[in-house]
Homo-oligomer: A and B are copies of this chain.
Amino acid sequence: MDVFEAVRTILAVRSYRDDPVPEALVQRIVESGRLTASARNAQPWHFIMVSDRATLGQLGALVPTGPYIGQAALAIVVAIQRTPFAVSDASRAIQSMMLVAWADGVGSNWAGFVGGLRAVGDLLNVPSDMDVLAVLPFGFPAVPVGQGKKGRKPLSEVASRERFGQPF
C-alpha cells in the first residue's frame, strides 16, 4: 500500500479476528521499528513480541485502557531507555510499525503510556532502568474498517504559512 494511502486510511482497531499475524509480517513490523531514525542514532528502544495467549490476557488486565489486548493475535511491548529523546524516537518507531502492519491489513492501537506501565515491565522482565512506553496489540480487524474517515481539526486550525496564524 502506498505511504500516503496508509496514513490517510489507518484507523485504531480494538477488535480482532482470531487469525495469527503471519510471521513474515511480524518480521517486517519489528524490522520497521528497528530501522527507524532516532536522535543521534541512539535507538533507545526494545521491542517485545508477545503472542502467548496467557500473557496477552495478563497484558489486557494490566493496561487500564486496553482490556481488548487480551483478544489480540499479537502485542508488541515497547520499552525505552530513560534518555531525553527516547519517547520521541520510540513514538516514531511505533508509527512506522503501525503503518507497515496496516499496509498488510493488520490493525493496531496505542494502549497505555509511560508511567502507569511498570507492572507490564515487571511481567515481561523489562530491566528496571527502562520504561514501558506502549503496548501495541495487533490483529486482523474483526469487522470491516471504514474508509479512513477521521475526526480531525480542520487544516485552518493546525497549519499556517510562513508565520503562525497565516492561512495555509
Task: Say if the beta carbon of A16 comes within 8 Å of chain B.
Answer: no
Are B168 and A30 in contact, CB atoms less than 8 angstroms apart?
Answer: yes
Task: Say if the beta carbon of A68 comes within 8 Å of chain B.
Answer: no
Are A43 and B155 in contact, CB atoms less than 8 angstroms apart?
Answer: no
In the complex, which residues of chain B have a beta carbon less than 8 angstroms from the beta carbon of A145?
none
Q: Indicate the member of A45, A103, A133, A148 with the most B CB atoms within 10 Å.
A: A103
- Interface pairs A-B: 7 shortest CB-CB: A91-B91, A3-B103, A95-B95, A92-B95, A88-B91, A125-B164, A7-B32
Q: Would you give 22 A-B contacts (Cβ < 8 Å), ordered by A?
A: A1-B3, A3-B102, A7-B32, A12-B37, A30-B155, A30-B159, A33-B158, A34-B153, A34-B155, A34-B158, A46-B158, A46-B159, A47-B168, A48-B159, A50-B161, A91-B91, A92-B94, A95-B95, A124-B163, A125-B163, A126-B164, A127-B164
